[in-house]
Amino acid sequence: MSQQSSSNLSATVQLTQELIRRRSVTPDDCGCQQVMIERLTAIGFHIEQLRFGDVDNFWAVRGDSGPTLCFAGHTDVVPTGPEENWQQPPFDATIIDGHIVGRGAADMKGSLAAMIVAVEQFVGEHPQHNGRIAFLITSDEEGIAVNGTVKVVEWLRQQNQLPEWCLIGEPSSTNQCGDTVKNGRRGSLGCTLTVRGQQGHVAYPHLADNPVHRAVPALTALSSEVWDNGNAFFPATSFQISNIQAGTGATNVIPGELEVEFNFRFSTELTEQQIIQRTEQILDQYKLDYSADWNLSGHPFLTAEGELVSATVTSIAEVTGLDTELSTAGGTSDGRFIAPFGVQVVELGPVNASIHKIDENTSIEGLNQLTLIYQAVLTQLLQ
């Protein structure tokens, strides 16, 4: 294991380290946005700082007219877990064997640094570029996501400033930088199901009504249901139970209530209304006494064709030689708040193998390539 001197590091790597060293556990930005704002102001960006609740956000734009390419991302990171389990302190941004180790290295402070440096280099070469370059940055992506991008997008809509294209720096790559681009995401629909029965003694089941026994056949039916077969861009819709709770803690008491949490990750083949209707039809078949509390986290979205996908794929090939894969797999992202307004959205960032894990890291080579890819996308769309 070898550590690298900072004297010969690229501007992207140095900025990544500076951002990682700010302990911005969601929703605390911890000054990361100010670092970015200062860099952007220095090259002619106009900044709107937008604080909603306890969340810092900003919108930055350079240029007066024409189509807008927006770089979007988040400065907040997930908690580290036990810091003593990390091989290096998670906010030291140590470089080991060609990788930066630290919370947020891949998700997504490396991408933010690559965006900033790419724009600095592009503006230096093309100070009179066409169109507009923008940044939409939040500190509320890893949290409950109610005062971040969703609020900024609504503000942009009211200001008539929605961009044509949005490149989000989420860690999309699988094995090497640029091998995978997310051009869409599945929708996420959650439910807390409460099944009511009658509490009683386990020795007298005829005097009680066990909600667990009643619910199991219905849950089995839900888990075996074929919701759809997906399509050319999306895998089939999936149903997963995440939590089940019942009982008083005593072994001789039939519970009076069962609570089940489950989630659908769904494709564009279904709407949330169709999923809810079909789910409740199955529950009704088993004559359960239940209530269902539904929560839609995001609609599915897809940017199948257009200038942004083309520019991204071409730029990756130019920089890395890779024939990138377009994918809609994975969890939700803030793209779900942007795409519904007709904005072309893609996600491109570092390898995602270590995100949210102990010893999160990203490769220096990958970050430097990512910077060149972002700069090439700018050249494709705005030169």
Active site residues: 76, 141
Instruction: Output DSSP code: residue 61.
Output: E
160: Cβ contacts below 8 Å, ≥ 6 apart: none
Instruction: Output DSSP code: residue 84.
Output: G
| Residue in this structure with the two tokens 């960032």, named with its chain if needed | 349
From residue 226, give the alpha-carbon distance in Å to each of 213, 241, 261, 279.
23, 15, 19, 12
Closest C-alpha among 30, 27, 18, 35 to residue 92: 18
Residue 369 parent element (H or E): helix 364-382
From residue 207, give the alpha-carbon distance in Å to each of 200, 245, 253, 281, 333.
7, 22, 12, 28, 49
116-144 in b/e form (b: 16+ CB < 10 A) is: bbbbbbbbeeeeebebbbbbbbbbbbbbe
The span from the CA of 257 to the CA of 246, in Å, is: 6
Residue 297 has a CB neighbour count (10 Å cut-off) of 14
User: Edge-to-edge strand order for the sheet containing 165-168?
Assistant: 46-52, 55-62, 132-138, 68-74, 165-168, 344-347, 180-182, 325-327
